[in-house]
Amino acid sequence: MRRLILLLTVLLSFLSISAQNKVERWRIYEISLNGDSNGNPFTDVQLSATFSNGEHLKTVSGFYDGNGIYKIRFMPQITGSWTYTTSSNSKALQNKKGKFECYSNTETNHGPVVVKNTFNFAYADGKPHYSFGTTCYGWVHQGDSLASLTLKTLANGYFNKMRMCIFPKDYDWNKNEPALYPFEGKPLTDWDYTKFNPEYFQNIEKRIEQLDSLGIEADLIIFHPYDRWGFKKMDRKTNDFYINYIIARFAAYKNVWWSMANEYDFMNEKKMDDWTHFIKLFAEKDPYNHLRSIHNGTKIFDHTNPLLSHASIQNDETFKAKELRLKYKKPIIYDECRYEGNINWSWGNLTAEEMVNKFWRGITNGGFVGHGETYVNESSVKRGFKSQDILWWSKGGVLRGQSHERIKFLKNIIETAPGYLTPVVNFESWMPYSAVSYKDEYFLNYYNMDQPLSQIVNLPEKSKYLVEIINAWDMTITPVNGEFSGKSLIQLPQKPFTALRITKISK
């Protein structure tokens, strides 16, 4: 009888836990446990697991995923054998043990993005990451049909980062109710803030995974001011409860970035102390130290805060990236420089030409720039959607503008450079153009919207260089005949969007 009881105990223990026996480096190892669903599992049950590979220990929090299921997600960053032990105030979840193997990452898996050499980004495996992002605030809340169309558009490789809201958004061209809500309760404002709706967060996880399959970072916006459901008015305790939950759920995804807010200074419900508290909370609780930022409306945040990994800027002066690098000493991303579009708001009626110009000026001053598009077009109705108000910036869908192809053209130029590009600072820095270089091997000069007849470039005397004329709008690259060194006069085509790419000839 004792042997039978022991056998049944072991069998029940085995049935109560589900986990794979191997996982790729920087992918998710997930433990699923059956537990008690009585009371309020979100507040009553504490769950974590400590992972060890013999030399390194990592403790991560678990979360309740509904229907009596508890989960723990871990992103191993080191290959080899790992073991784990769970810890919980629930007997059914306490002291569960297991082991797995972490094998080397495949060629398409470069790991999470980190800051590299102060002003740049790289993946964990060392591959450079040049941020070419876009904004689709509410795309995760629009349902599978429209989300699939958004992903099909993104598959064309225009962008490698997506700014997106965790909470639904209420603003012009984004008035429809989301299919799901983050908390249990009744719309619009009768919520039980102690009980999450797991299905809501499962949907976001699906979108994060889909972006990752396309090589796109998910820049998750934690809070925003455009809200009719009351989420922006949550108190500090509820905000912390929410933050701890999304860290437990999302942090193991390698492509996650944390953005504390979209336009933090427009959220009157929160004070500066709240923002510094949230930044610190993410820094302390995220086991993987994902990138952290905060986005402004009219008042730029103090990005010297050492817990912010990079500066997320909203204004259209992308040419000032060189100044902000020196001020903040970290990567600069103009996540909003206005939007290409045709709406009545001044921030959303930028021409495609000016959007492209802002990208080139930002990049050639040592920063990164984000795209956005706000075209209203009746063609959405013909595609089977209920409203023509399907703007890329709000809901995703298709791109109707002309800048994205030209941004992809610039993205390819930057990604094929021999290394990280640094703003050129010399006696010509007062000139109305910008330039970046990689050592003395590679130069990229951009002449803005000017139309110069010719340009003198000062190159090292002892080396020889090839020169190409780039037209950023026409997306053409034309070699200039000859080899150049020292003070060289280059004849230009007298067109806007002209740039020079100058490459050292290898010996």
- pLDDT tens digit sequence for 169-226: 999 999 999 999 999 999 999 999 999 999 999 999 999 999 999 999 999 999 999 9
Q: What is the pLDDT of residues 307-365, one digit of tens each?
A: 999 999 999 999 999 999 999 999 999 999 999 999 999 999 999 999 999 999 999 99
64 part of a folded domain: yes
> Model confidence over 379-412: pLDDT tens digits?
544 444 455 579 999 999 999 999 999 999 999 9
Average pLDDT over residues 422-448: 85
Give, in degrees to the nearest 5, the angle at Cα 213 between 208 and 216. Answer: 65
Q: What distances in angstroms separate CA 319 from CA 175, 355, 389, one per listed residue?
A: 35, 13, 32
pLDDT score of 381: 43
Give the DSSP per-residue string, 109-144: ----EEEETTTEEEETTS-EE--EEEE-TTGGGS-H
Listed in sequence order, the residues at least 6 apart from 28 whose beta carbon sits closer than 8 Å to its beta carbon are 73, 74, 75, 252, 253
Residue 230 lies in a domain: yes
Q: What is the CATH number of the domain that holds 444?
A: 2.60.40.3950
Question: Three-state DSSP class for 62?
Answer: strand
Residues 460 and 375 in one domain: no
**Whether 29 and 98 share a structural domain:** yes
79 and 128 fall within a common domain: no
- For residue range 349-367, list pLDDT tens digits in order: 999 999 999 999 999 999 9
Tell me whether residue 7 is in a domain. no
pLDDT at 426 over 80: no
Q: Averaged over 454-472, what is the pLDDT?
A: 95
The percent of residues above 70 in pLDDT, for the chain, comes to 93
Is 8 inside a domain boundary? no
Beta-carbon contacts of residue 145 (< 8 Å; ≥ 6 apart): 384, 385
Considering the domain architecture, whether residues 19 and 131 belong to the same structural domain is answered as no
Domain-located, residue 27? yes
Sheet of 476-479, strand order: 422-423, 434-438, 442-446, 498-504, 465-471, 476-479
- pLDDT category of residue 498 using cuts at 50, 70 and 90: very high
State how many domains the chain has. 3
* Rounded average pLDDT over 16-45: 94
Q: What pLDDT does 171 receive? A: 96
Residue ending a domain, among 380, 415, 450, is: 415
**Listed residues 69, 103, 137: the one ending a domain:** 103
pLDDT bucket at 431, cuts 50 / 70 / 90: low
Residues 445 and 386 in one domain: no
Looking at residue 382, which CATH number applies to its domain?
3.20.20.80
481-493 pLDDT tens trace: 999 999 999 999 9
Average pLDDT over every residue of 87-105? 98
In Å, how far are 29, 220, 335 from 294, measured between CA atoms?
A: 29, 11, 10
**Average confidence (pLDDT) over 99-115:** 98
pLDDT for the residue 16: 63
Which residue's structure tokens are 């995703």? Answer: 396
Position 14 scores a pLDDT of 42
174 plus 57 within the same structural domain:
no
For 219, the 3-state DSSP assignment is strand
Identify the pLDDT of residue 378: 64
Does residue 296 share a domain with residue 170? yes
Find the mean pLDDT for residues 136-140: 98
Task: Give the pLDDT mean for 77-104.
Answer: 98
Nearest residue to 238 via CA among 43, 72, 45, 40 = 43
Per-residue model confidence as pLDDT tens digits over 254-290? 999 999 999 999 999 999 999 999 999 999 999 999 9
The predicted model scores a pTM of: 0.94
Q: Are 49 and 60 in contact (CB under 8 A)?
A: yes
Please name the residue ranges forming H helices in 16-143. Answer: 41-44
What secondary structure letter does DSSP report for 288?
T
CA torsion sign for 241, 282, 72, 66 is positive
Kindly state the average pLDDT of the residues 128-151. 98
Q: What stretch of H or E contains 183? A: strand 183-186
Helix (H) or strand (E) holding 84: strand 80-88
Whole-angstrom distance, CA of residue 358 vs CA of residue 469? 19
| 166 occurs within a structural domain | yes
Same-domain check for residues 458 and 339: no
Residue 437 pLDDT greater than 90, yes or no: yes
Domain boundary among 382, 415, 448: 415
- The CATH number that applies at residue 83 is 2.60.40.10
Q: Report which residue type is found at 41.
A: P
Shared domain check, 285 and 409: yes
With CA atoms as reference, report the closest residue to 310 among 292, 290, 323.
292
Q: Is the pLDDT of residue 12 over 80?
A: no
User: By residue range, what is the domain housing residue 281?
Assistant: 113-415
Amino acid symbol at 154: L
Whether residue 273 sits in one domain with residue 315: yes
The mean predicted confidence, pLDDT, of the chain is 94
DSSP string, 435-496: EEEETTTEEEEE-TT---SEEEEE--TTS-EEEEEEETTTTEEEEPSS-B-SEEEEE--S-T
181 within some domain:
yes
Question: Residue 5 pLDDT > 70, yes or no?
Answer: no
pLDDT at 389: 78
| DSSP SS3 for 4 | helix
Beta bridge partners of 49: 60, 86
76 plus 163 within the same structural domain:
no
Same domain, 27 and 128: no
In this predicted structure, the answer to whether residue 100 has a pLDDT above a threshold of 60 is yes
Q: For the residues 22-34, what does the mean pLDDT come to?
A: 98
In a domain, 154, yes or no: yes
